[in-house]
Amino acid sequence: MLEVKDLHVYYGGIHALQGISISVPEGSVVTLLGANGAGKTTTLRTIMGLVRPRVGEITYRGKPIVGLRTSRIVRMGIVMCPEGRRIFPDLTVWENLLMGCYARTDPEIERDLEWVFSLFPRLKERRRQAGGTLSGGEQQMLAVARALMAKPTLLLLDEPSLGLAPVLITELYNAFRQIHQEGRTILLVEQNARAALSIAEYGYVLETGRIVAEGPKDELVSSDLVRKAYLGIG
Amino acid sequence: MDIQQFFNGLTLGSLYALIAIGYTMVYGILRLINFAHGDIFMFAGYWVFFGYFLFKLPWWAAAVLSVIFTAAMGWAIERVAYRPLRNAPRISLLITAIGMSLLLEHIIIVLPWAGGIQKQFPRPDFMIRIFELGGARIQAVTIWVPVIAAVCLLGLLYLLYRTKVGRGMRAIATDMEATELMGADINRIISYTFIVGSALAAVGGILWGCRYPALRFDIGIIPGWRAFTAAVVGGIGNVIGAMIGGFVLGMAEIIFVATLPAYSGYRDAVIFAILILFLLVKPTGIMGKPLKEKV
């Protein structure tokens, strides 16, 4: 569904991505693991058209998307839930969700609103509250719900578990499972390898702009690199 | 303060509020002080002048066309001058805005029907009629201006809080990139912002002409600065703050002039003293929230 080939990105003189190639098959959950500064967020931002790669190809359902405007990419069905939530603090929960479907005109908006409220019932209770008054966990739920309102076929999640209590992470990942079961493909960026590998089928490990390991979930879980550096075992 | 002065202050405050909104909306989104905004305001007066004297249109038609043309100018200025600099350093944008301001003023100077000399803004009879109210003599314009301004400001609040593009404007002001990630066409939202801000400045410019009918290429400068001060006092980036700031400044100016008429030449000193006071005591303005550093 999404193919990234040999992506090179520079920030000023810094070679941030040094030839990243990843593949996300339709209907899968793929994860991108790595420490701070490894290039995970940059990879997602490049897919979304927020950063232009110097070299490399990105195709979505066979169509090249490098150079397209972000709004165009979103309308093609790739939606990113950015790191740090980035909800609109002055808008109400309801308005935040409506911002999610800004580019949509189809009649299924109502149904999708019902669906995200069933995924995150707490948002329904707080729909008239300003987004900025929510707790961190609720803000993350709002950010995911807002991304879902954009009707993604491919959902990019950037560090959704960052700064959340374990119980909230579990809740959030349960929602991700449901989102996946509803037919969405997910590319999940995480530092929290344990959480990510609980739902991903395939994973990549990034270090300083390069992929240093990849493989199906079981292979990664048993590999020394991942066990030592990301799962804290051994 | 007598009733006449009250209406004078209300009128001046309304005019500042109408101009201040354009400054504050653009600043809220682009972090740009749009120096050309005062000149857009000035141009609105000239559009009425051209429509009325050159094309012999009825006054109301000239006024409506003026709002449309002025809004179109605001749109065009963003499109041509500011958009290409979206990712340039802020200072380039600021200097471009100053250049735009000078360009607009000099267009008026070189136009054969306008020129550098003062012209008379055409005022319709219903604006200059004088009537008695509670023993005071009130000019109709001092009633019309607050009423029309109130209608415009309510319309703006409706746009911002009840429509999709208004929601987009509020979203983009807090996080442009997140708005873009929603699939929103941010260029379109920014265009709308300039159109709305310029249209309100146009209404302000036309009403200003009805109140102070002298028309010259530089009449936008001082009201522009005062309205910008109003935007800062109200809390730059905050639309409701700009409205409040406009009224505070208009009232303060009239109170000062009415109580110390011999010193009326110092009115700008008072306005900028208020600005300095706010910058010292509450730099985020009346409605402003403390700035949070982005982590």
Domain containing B192 — which CATH number?
1.10.3470
At B211-233, the pLDDT tens digits run 999 999 999 999 999 999 999 99
How many CB atoms sit inside 10 A of residue A152's CB? Answer: 21
ipTM confidence: 0.92
User: A95: helix, coil or strand?
Assistant: helix
The CATH number of the domain holding residue A220 is 3.40.50.300
Q: Domain span at residue B215?
A: 3-281
The span from the CA of A128 to the CA of B183, in Å, is 23
Mutation to test the A interface, candidates B182, B187, B287, B292, most A Cβ within 10 Å: B182
User: B176: helix, coil or strand?
Assistant: helix
User: Do A104 and A70 share a structural domain?
Assistant: no
**Overall domain count for chain A:** 2
Does B165 touch chain A if contact means CB atoms closer than 8 Å? no
Q: Domain span at residue A18?
A: 2-77+152-229
**Overall domain count for chain B:** 1
At B230-273, the pLDDT tens digits run 999 999 999 999 999 999 999 999 999 999 999 999 999 999 99
**Considering the domain boundaries, does residue A184 fall inside one?**
yes
Of B167, B174, B177, the CB nearest to A50: B177
Domain boundary among A151, A167, A194: A151
Please give the pLDDT value at position A229: 76
Does B168 touch chain A if contact means CB atoms closer than 8 Å? yes
Please give the pLDDT value at position B132: 86
The span from the CA of A89 to the CA of A81, in Å, is 15
**Considering the domain boundaries, does residue B290 fall inside one?**
no
Q: How confident is the model at residue B295 (pLDDT cuts 50, 70, 90)?
A: very low
> Contact B9/B85 with Cβ under 8 angstroms?
no
Please give the helix or strand (H or E) that residue A230 lies within, else none. none
Q: Judging by beta carbons within 10 Å of its beta carbon (0-12, 13-18, 19+), is residue B177 exposed, middle or buried?
A: middle
pLDDT beyond 80 at B1: no
User: Do A95 and A29 share a structural domain?
Assistant: no
Measured between beta carbons, the chain A residues lying within 8 angstroms of B182 are 74, 99-100, 102-103, 146, 150
At B95-135, the pLDDT tens digits run 999 999 999 999 999 998 888 889 999 999 999 999 888 77
pLDDT beyond 70 at A18: yes
**Considering the domain boundaries, does residue B295 fall inside one?**
no
Please give the pLDDT value at position B294: 44
Q: Please choose, from the candidates B172, B2, B183, the residue with its C-alpha nearest in 3D space to the C-alpha of residue A48.
A: B183
Please give the pLDDT value at position B245: 96
Please give the pLDDT value at position B292: 55
Written as one letter, the residue type at A205 is V
What does the pLDDT average to over A113-123?
A: 95
**Considering the domain boundaries, does residue B75 fall inside one?**
yes
Q: Tell me the sheet residues that pair with A203.
A: A31, A215
Task: For chain A, give the mean pLDDT.
Answer: 94
At B151-190, the pLDDT tens digits run 999 999 999 999 999 999 999 999 999 999 999 999 999 9
Of A89, A90, A100, the CB nearest to B182: A100
What does the pLDDT average to over B57-83?
A: 98
User: Do A73 and A131 share a structural domain?
Assistant: no
